Structure 1
Amino acid sequence: MIIEGVVLSIIVGYIRKGRLANFEHIKIKVWYLIILSQLLQIVAIRLNGYVIHLDQQVFYSMHVISYVVLFVPLIMNYKMLSMKLFGTGTFLNFIAIAFNQGQMPVFLPEGVNASFDLGHVLGSAQTRVYWLTDIIPLLKPYPLPKVISVGDIFLLVGAFLFVQYGMGEKRMVNGVRVSKS
């Protein structure tokens, strides 16, 4: 879902005469922890069961730790509205995942079948914090049908605004106005 928001935001950014090159002026504190967090998720969710085999407790721990690592840059960059929204979405998804054995429950509309990666599981009556799980269907005619969570909406808006901010024509950097070049 975030990829779609970023792509849409880049298109809107170009329409607004922004440039991707303007991102060089944005300073994100401890940005490398975002990458570390995503690497932990890739190992726990994408490689587990194919390249490596983690038991359920190690999987759960790695998935939760990836979120804890991600919270550090989100908190350290909280002054940016996009990071506040991204942090809110991350926290809401983290709660759902932490309360459901490290997996995000997905509630599919009746008659819809899907396969899940290790980070997702079919929702059931035993699902905890139901309202934070993937319960919002985006069905056809949406080009990439899926079910999303309230947290995903915050993530999408945060990612969209971050790209808009980053591509912006003018901004202040260390007290100096930087314009499009």
Structure 2
Amino acid sequence: MFLASLLLAVAIGWIRGGSVKRIGRLPLRWVGLLPVPLILRSMLQHPSSVHLPWVVQGAEILQFVAYALLVVLAMVNRHLPGSGYLIGGSLANALVITANGGRMPVSEWAIHVAAHDLERAAAVARLAGGDSLTHELLGPETRLPWLADIIPLPRPFPFPSVASVGDVLIAVGLMWLVIAAMGTRHPAGQPVAPVGGTGRGRR
């Protein structure tokens, strides 16, 4: 979902006359921490590939750390366009995952809508068997079910999946950020204030 959102944002930014090069000039704070939650999430989603027993044993803690870092990164970068959506989405996902023991609940109905038969059966069996360290099937005991993965994204969506309200907010925030960072076509010689800057002109 996020990759599709980023690609769409780049396409919109390009149509508006923006430049991808400007994305690299974003005044990001604590950017060195960004890979940490991504690495932790990858390790939890593919524990057999890292061969580290403590990843399985500490899955709940690692999941909490990953999402807590995403919330912190979103908040320290609240000066950027779209940050409100990024903060809200990160908090929503962190809240529902923490409330359900470190795993994101997933609606079986949403899986049926989004996936093909074979993919659907495999996904449901994996979640029902407790084989996932990051997700579980949504059930009567699920807390905050309205924040869980309940939104199906079937084809023609380029990457069929199931998303949460938090995911949607994050996707909107990312699109806003990328489009704003790319800027628009402007008259030659006219200075462009950096995204998140003060925009002060010369005296």
- Higher strand fraction (1 or 2): 1
Distance in structure 2 (CA, Å) of the matches to 1:37 and 1:127: 24
1-side partners of 2:110 and 2:200: how far apart? 56
- In structure 1, the residue matched to 2:35 is 35
- After TM superposition, the score normalised by the length of structure 1 is 0.86
What is the aligned counterpart of 2:174 among 152, 159, 162? 159
Question: Structure 1's 139 and 32: CA in aligned 2 closer, same or farther, altered over 3 A?
Answer: same
* Larger CA deviation: 21-30 vs 112-121: 112-121
Distance 1:139 1:119 in 2: 21
RMSD: 2.2
**Deviation digits for residues 39-70 of structure 1, max 9, x if unmatched?**
22222x23323322336551110110112222
Identical positions, percent? 28
Q: Which has the higher helix share?
A: 2
Q: Which amino acid aligns with 2:30?
A: V
Unaligned runs of 5+ in 2: 113-119, 127-131, 187-191
C-alpha distance in structure 1 between counterparts of 2:56 and 2:141, whole Å? 18
Query: What is the TM-score normalised by the length of structure 2?
Result: 0.77
Match for residue 120 of structure 1 among 123, 126, 135:
135
Aligned residue pairs, count: 176
What is the one-letter code of the residue matched to 1:42? S
Residues 3-152 of structure 1 correspond to what in structure 2 (within 5 A)? 3-43=3-43, 45-51=44-50, 52-54=52-54, 58-109=58-109, 112=112, 113=120, 114-115=122-123, 117-152=132-167
> Which letter maps to 1:47?
H
Matched, 1:172 2:193: yes
Determine if contact 1:33/1:72 at 8 Å carries over to the other structure. Answer: no
Cα 1:77–1:27 change in 2 (3 A) is same
